[in-house]
Amino acid sequence: QLHLQESGPGLVKPSETLSLTCTVSGGSISGSGHYWVWIRQPPGKGLEWIGSIYFSGSTHYNPSLKSRLTISASTYSNQFSLKLTSVTAADTAIYSCARGTAFEAFDVWGPGTLATVSS
Amino acid sequence: QSALTQPASVSGSPGQSITISCIGTSSDVGAYDYVSWYQQHPNKAPKLLIYDVVNRPSGVSTRFSGSKSGNTASLTISDLQAEDEADYYCNSYKKTNTPHVVFGGGTKLTVL
């Protein structure tokens, strides 16, 4: 059974970089034909798609975050990662990784990890 | 403000049917059959209910169905049950200079 788990620091200072990793177990990120996705949800608010990556390295980014965002993948580690630079309080959210197609049908989710931007 | 418009809340009694709308534009919902719906219970990860407008993943109850007309997608839940009380989100592919995904703002379903 496929399992996704997010990890990373829970607290980041304003203007610094948020780095998160999603570890995939029970399946390979390179073997399924799926995209691997980051989605966030500010506390008490709705979902926001951050971006997606194929194991080959092909990426799609949210235009509103593109200038600050890098998503990468490691088939060796069976992980994919997110780096969001110059964070502000508006980036405080539960960050979740998921599996899907490039643009929809996110069918397996991690439990999510809260990242708080505060000094 | 979310890119797709959903009602903030809907309600229904057990056994009834309800429909949640998801209004987009000719650049997203109206242009492609790449609309999904998710159910989210409090403090839980979202669960995929519908993809490609009308398809249900294996294991999802047949009480959940999706449809689309023009720029509006809809999720219908029939034979409403207490455990259906949750937040529901739609999402769509959006084709612009930079193809990306847009979500609706979410709808709180209350089972009376």
Q: Are B101 and B2 in contact (CB under 8 A)?
A: no
Tell me the mean pLDDT in the region A65-88.
Answer: 96
* Best CA proximity match to B104, nearest among A115, A100, A45, A95: A45
Q: Give residue A28's pLDDT band: very low, low, confident or very high (50, 70, 90).
A: very high
A49/B103 touch (CB, cutoff 8 Å), yes or no = yes
Q: Both tokens of residue B112?
A: 């009376």
A47/B91 touch (CB, cutoff 8 Å), yes or no = yes
Q: Please say if the pLDDT value at position A16 is more than 90.
A: yes
Q: What is the pLDDT of residue A84?
A: 98
- Tell me whether B45 touches chain A (CB under 8 Å): yes
> Which has more pLDDT, B49 or A101?
B49
Q: What is the pLDDT of residue B99?
A: 87
A61/B98 touch (CB, cutoff 8 Å), yes or no = yes
Length reported for chain B: 112
Q: Please say if the pLDDT value at position B98 is more than 90.
A: no
Tell me the mean pLDDT in the region A3-13.
Answer: 96
Tell me the mean pLDDT in the region B49-58.
Answer: 97
Q: What is the pLDDT of residue A11?
A: 96
Strands (E), chain B: 9-12, 18-23, 35-40, 47-50, 64-69, 72-77, 86-94, 100-103, 107-111
Q: Please say if the pLDDT value at position A31 is more than 80.
A: no
Label residues B61-75 b or e (16+ Cβ within 10 Å = b).
eeebbbebeebbbbb
B57 DSSP 8-state letter: P
Q: Both tokens of residue B15?
A: 């056994």
Considering chain B, what percentage of its residues have pLDDT values greater than 70?
98
- Tell me whether B89 touches chain A (CB under 8 Å): yes
Q: What is the pLDDT of residue B94?
A: 92
Q: What is the pLDDT of residue B97?
A: 83
Q: Please say if the pLDDT value at position B2 is more than 70.
A: no
Terminal CA-CA length for chain B: 28
A60/B99 touch (CB, cutoff 8 Å), yes or no = yes
User: How far B69 CA sits from the closest chain A CA (Å)?
Assistant: 19
Q: Both tokens of residue B33?
A: 């059959």
Q: Please say if the pLDDT value at position B59 is more than 90.
A: yes
